[in-house]
Amino acid sequence: MITIKPCTIADIDALRAISIETFTETFEAENDPTHLAAYLERAYNVPQLESELANPDSQFFFAMLDGEVAGYLKVNAKDAQTEVMGEDAFELERIYVRRAFQGSGVGKALYDQAIRCANELDKREIWLGVWEHNHNALAFYRKHGFVQTGAHTFYMGDDAQVDLIMAKPLRP
């Protein structure tokens, strides 16, 4: 059974480890190792993660399966969103599932948690940015009703890449 557990500052080492592991698994094959290493150091260093965990408008969750951290989620509201989308929007910033647990329903469980969080805050729309070449993630989000509404630049180290902005209405 998959359980969802909120992350706290006490979880920082586990959060950092799964963040680096899953990001690397997802993107190392298609990116320069130097750019990947620079991104990992910037995005997942302890002070950065401490700051994100301390932000009251961001939440992290672990998906637990068979006693192991199988994946994680980060969501943002208000000014914690990585793009200015307004008060009615809610960002699903990260869903990552460890390779060994892909296909086990962990991604869907984390997605469902993101929707619950957005609904608890009475948001009208959920949105995310996804790399244009991450075909598995694009298929997952399209299957769940997301449509492309824009694009923005994402930097993998010094390498400028395109993230597609995708959104889904939660209510009228």
Map tokens 């298929």 to a residue.
139
pLDDT tens sequence across 74-86: 999 999 999 999 8
Mean pLDDT value of segment 113-126: 98
The architecture (CATH level 2) of 2-169 comes to 3-Layer(aba) Sandwich (3.40)
Map tokens 């989308």 to a residue.
85
Of 39, 72, 96, 141, which residue is the catalytic one?
A: 141
Q: How far apart are CA 67 and CA 108, in angstroms?
A: 18
pLDDT tens sequence across 9-59: 999 999 999 999 999 999 999 999 999 999 999 999 999 999 999 999 999
- Predicted pLDDT of residue 83: 92
Give me the residues paired with residue 150 across strands: 165
- Indicate if the pLDDT at residue 171 is higher than 90: no
Map tokens 């869903």 to a residue.
95
- Indicate if the pLDDT at residue 157 is higher than 90: no
CA 92 → CA 37, 83, 114, 129, distances in Å?
24, 12, 7, 8
- Indicate if the pLDDT at residue 172 is higher than 80: no
Give Cα 142 to chain centroid, integer Å: 16
Residue 155 annotated as catalytic: no
